[in-house]
Structure 1
């Protein structure tokens, strides 16, 4: 069965990323990392609001209907959606201008896993952090491009990749704290398959959906790592999926236009735009962060 996602919003982001469905607002939030912009979009693909920042922001966590926590260049900041006001929560690599945040996601326990990377993308200067209840813990260092951070519905398994390795890894996690237990092991080796492993999300059945940068698709992996199905996306640089909509059965997919030649952009007129597809499986509701 071939399924193809359709264009939902022709936003042509340089680097569309970090989509999450806000259950209380019934809106999809996502970023154009390179343009320092946050969008709020309805399930129908209409822009409800947008915000322009003066720093790079890659991901958000839900606090309540009025507030998000943003993973910014310098750390975590509380963001008031009505006023645009920002309050510092916790510094992360604030003294390292060469790094920025990237793929990050909230664990069912309310813990926020935050990835960082160098802007140049050419050396392992990034890390992965765990934030919960005011405490920041370093989980990994020596990372090039952190991606695919996501969690099983019971909170007992975390998934993650350093994109250049082409290996999606997994580790057991404490369901009450979101902290890792034990050692990382291989979940899926995507070497020889389409593209590079980018953002990912786990559905309500425990299957992992992984966007493939350069692969024009989102791949659904079964809990044993095998490929269950593929959703085609009509642009090449696919960055991250998110479940949303009233029944959580719509998959929204962000993409990117960065580093594409004029010829490539002519061939992919909607590169960087937001795509969507209705599925027969629901996602998980987005957990709120535990501050």
Structure 2
């Protein structure tokens, strides 16, 4: 079911690969990244003010953490970022990661653990996998052997975690608890529904439904807890990467997009591509836990 909403261009950021959008409830701003330009953006929906800091490499995500810092995933490992000084400081490398890989997407769970994925920067080799950063320690956790990882996403109760294999056009789910993660099993075969589009970053709403951006699909899609397609929302860009719920009532959908695979003719068809978009969401999200650094 396509839902017709007023989707607005909030920030014409001209991102090559906009990603990692999330709501920072403490600062009441949206954070997102442009991976290929090494930019970490923030946007204030109340005033429209915005700016970006330049990271020391490709930056896949930034998550509010302890001590007023952000925890960030870059090509060569985890960094902290101080929004006051705009200083990035390397925290640690990811053990065993191939030199050609980079970090791509992440989320927290209710215990402050950070779940993230790696991928082949050239998007060819199935060298990516998922990890958890748990108070200073990185462990392999979740599926492996993936060319382009996206997510993970954790539900509000913290008992389910979703992993996306973008190239295979599938979303997987596993049981989650304070003790760890179970074996991943199929959740949604997006290729059967959107044959020419690819599932990108997922997020879970307050009703336990899963939303995903559709790269090459021009929309976000919502799935029931059983993995059935519930709704889609068209976005005025072709390559949709990630959605987050934000605003003071957590009922605004914020969406990032990309232009890196678009030709001039594609840009004529989608002149707002690469922007940050927003719409009044039909459901609310839930408050995200800050990352625990130690």
Take 1:78 and 1:261, find their aligned partners in 2: how far apart are those partners?
35
Give the conservation status (yes or no) of the 8 Å contact 2:55–2:88.
no
Give the conservation status (yes or no) of the 8 Å contact 2:116–2:151.
no
Q: Report SS of the residue matched to 1:266.
A: helix
1:220 to 207, 219, 222: 222
Give the conservation status (yes or no) of the 8 Å contact 1:106–1:112.
yes
- Greater CA deviation, 58-67 or 25-34? 58-67
Distance 1:277-1:95 versus aligned 2 partners, 3 A rule = closer
Matching of residues 52-131 of structure 1 within 5 Å: 52-64=54-66, 66-92=68-94, 96-131=98-133
1:240 aligned onto 2:208: no
Structure 1 gaps of 5+ residues are none
2:291 matched residue in structure 1: 289
1:149 matched residue in structure 2: 152
1:188 aligned onto 2:191: no
1:253 to 249, 252, 255: 255
Take 2:27 and 2:140, find their aligned partners in 1: how far apart are those partners?
32
1:269 aligned onto 2:271: yes
- Greater CA deviation, 26-35 or 127-136? 127-136
Take 1:280 and 1:210, find their aligned partners in 2: how far apart are those partners?
15
Take 2:48 and 2:94, find their aligned partners in 1: how far apart are those partners?
33
Take 1:160 and 1:253, find their aligned partners in 2: how far apart are those partners?
19
TM-score w.r.t. the length of structure 1 is 0.94
Q: Report SS of the residue matched to 1:102.
A: strand
Take 1:65 and 1:216, find their aligned partners in 2: how far apart are those partners?
38
Give the conservation status (yes or no) of the 8 Å contact 2:66–2:292.
no
Q: RMSD between aligned alpha carbons?
A: 1.6
Take 2:184 and 2:97, find their aligned partners in 1: how far apart are those partners?
29
- Greater CA deviation, 93-102 or 60-69? 93-102
Structure 1 residue 8, shift from structure 2 partner: 1.3
Structure 1 residue 95, shift from structure 2 partner: 6.8
Take 2:62 and 2:258, find their aligned partners in 1: how far apart are those partners?
18
CA displacement, residues 109-128 of structure 1 (integer Å, 9 cap, x when unaligned): 21111111111101111121
Distance 1:260-1:45 versus aligned 2 partners, 3 A rule = farther
Structure 1 residue 65, shift from structure 2 partner: 7.1
CA displacement, residues 57-101 of structure 1 (integer Å, 9 cap, x when unaligned): 101121147310111112111111111223332211587431111
Take 1:45 and 1:269, find their aligned partners in 2: how far apart are those partners?
24
Q: Report SS of the residue matched to 2:200.
A: strand
Take 1:94 and 1:188, find their aligned partners in 2: how far apart are those partners?
30
Q: Report SS of the residue matched to 1:21.
A: strand
| Paired residues, number | 288
Q: Report SS of the residue matched to 1:79.
A: strand
2:171 matched residue in structure 1: 168
1:136 matched residue in structure 2: 138
Distance 1:169-1:95 versus aligned 2 partners, 3 A rule = closer
